[in-house]
Structure 1
Amino acid sequence: MTSESKCKPSRELSGVIRGYLIFYNLAQLFGWAYLLFQLITYYVAGPKEVPLWGIVKPIVMIFQNAAALEIVHAATNIVPSNVLITVFQVFSRVLVVCGVLLPTPTGPDSSGLPLALLAWSITEVIRYLYYALNLLGAVPYLLVWCRYTFFIALYPIGVMGELLCLHAAQAYVGSKKLWSLEMPNKLNLTFSYHYFLLFIMFLYIPLFPQLYLHMFAQRRKLISGGTSKKVQ
């Protein structure tokens, strides 16, 4: 799942903050565009000796983890986002990347990886371009339409990919007791990373429909009769 923060109007931002946000959004735009390029060329060029994750890992690590800054943006109110929603949206992806794809061999082998990467990269290219142009006060209607239409297919695809990666990893995590803590120990605590992953998967059931319906509400508000409203 992905963060849906919106930029404040540029007139309400100081020059330094506005410049930083433009730089951040453009950097993310080019990073995710490059990832999309890597993904397309990987499958167009045919089978390779190096698996997909081995090729895209550095870019995914850099730009997905950089999205944690959006929690800071929301917490400091430089963008008008709900902090808790932003935390969950960013955390869900960071967990897939750092808690599933990196530490397990089964996560990257999942058929969910290309699905998640495809949905993430297309969504983020559109999203960050939208944010950058919004800060410059130059968002074309076509981009507004793409942002609030493509999600209809991309969100379910991305969630399916994330869940497939989580499912592929949880059995390995359970068998190896990865990142788990059992009694007895000096801390007198117990923690099962396996059950934690299962709990995260369960959370998708109540939370994803709410986020998905929220985007439909935004679509109705921002796309009306072929004209876009200026995002505030």
Structure 2
Amino acid sequence: MEMRRAYLVGYNGVEAMGWMVVLTLAVRCAVERGRSWTYDVVRDALVTVQIASFAEVLHALIGLTRTPAAAALMQWAGRTHCLLCALDGVRSNHSSDAATVLVFAWAITEVIRYPAYVCGLLGIESKALTWARYTVFVPLYPLGAGAEMKLMYDARAHARRTKMYAIEMPNAYNFAFDYPTFLNALLVLYPFLFHGLYSYMFAQRRKKLGGKEKQS
């Protein structure tokens, strides 16, 4: 096996295992604790696998994968900002329903996506995995995006009260930053950004499954 393929198989395999840990912890704790389940249970594993996925931006930049680097960076930055700032940085969001939805939507998506990549790299055809890869996003992407928006919306009050990430004038750089205002702007843009990604995934679904579905 060539070095590039071996590396990508290893990377995607590790990410798949990491997300499986996240999902297993989430399921177990949801069953045991019910509505008392909190984000803190999966925090370390979730933050680790999400930050590690920055490698995918680098893969795109250096040509290891065909993913456009700008798209990879935008998706990684959007997720990571929501995770570290709107969720991890706001204690009151840890036990929210939005946090639970986000964890499950992300984890279920990724425990399918990464193994699908591994199979593709190894030349293994799995109709079930391919179908799942291009089908589960239909409900899970809107759920995940909705949870991200809810977490950012709820983070605004805490950010305003604590002056979270605020940069006030005057300062040496003559620059000011108000995080709640940033969140408001992001919430306006989010549906448009989501629409672009969602439409792209449907186009990919038609490409991968369309022919087979028409024949059936």
TM-score (norm 2): 0.93
Query: Paired residue for 1:9?
Result: none
Provide the alpha-carbon RMSD of the alignment: 1.7
Query: Paired residue for 1:64?
Result: 50
5+ residue gaps, structure 1 = 1-13, 228-232
Structure 1 window deviating more from structure 2 (62-71 vs 95-104): it is: 95-104
Compare relative contact order (CA 8 Å, sep 6+) and give the higher one, 1 or 2. Answer: 1
Question: Contact (CA 8 Å) 1:74, 1:82: kept in 2 or not?
Answer: yes
Is 1:28 matched with 2:15?
Answer: yes
- Matches of 1:207 and 1:101 in 2, distance apart? 20
Query: Which structure has greater helix proportion?
Result: 2
- Matches of 1:139 and 1:204 in 2, distance apart? 35
Query: Paired residue for 1:37?
Result: 24
Query: Paired residue for 1:192?
Result: 178
Query: Paired residue for 1:99?
Result: 85
5+ residue gaps, structure 2 = none
Q: 1:220 aligns with which of 202, 206, 209?
A: 206
By how many angstroms is 1:97 displaced? 1.4
Question: Contact (CA 8 Å) 1:71, 1:87: kept in 2 or not?
Answer: yes
Question: Contact (CA 8 Å) 1:110, 1:164: kept in 2 or not?
Answer: no
By how many angstroms is 1:226 displaced? 3.3
Moved over 6 A (4+): none
Is 1:169 matched with 2:170?
Answer: no
By how many angstroms is 1:133 displaced? 0.8
Q: State the number of aligned residues.
A: 213
Aligned amino acid, residue 42 of structure 1: C
Query: Paired residue for 1:82?
Result: 68
Structure 1 window deviating more from structure 2 (99-108 vs 168-177): it is: 99-108
- Matches of 1:202 and 1:88 in 2, distance apart? 16
Question: Contact (CA 8 Å) 2:39, 2:100: kept in 1 or not?
Answer: no
Question: Contact (CA 8 Å) 2:131, 2:209: kept in 1 or not?
Answer: yes
Aligned amino acid, residue 181 of structure 2: Y
Sequence identity percentage: 32
Structure 1 window deviating more from structure 2 (118-127 vs 169-178): it is: 169-178
Query: Paired residue for 2:4?
Result: 17
Alignment partner of 1:223: what SS? Answer: helix
Aligned amino acid, residue 217 of structure 1: A
Query: Paired residue for 2:117?
Result: 131
TM-score (norm 1): 0.87
Is 1:52 matched with 2:51?
Answer: no
Alignment partner of 1:46: what SS? Answer: helix
Question: Contact (CA 8 Å) 1:74, 1:80: kept in 2 or not?
Answer: yes
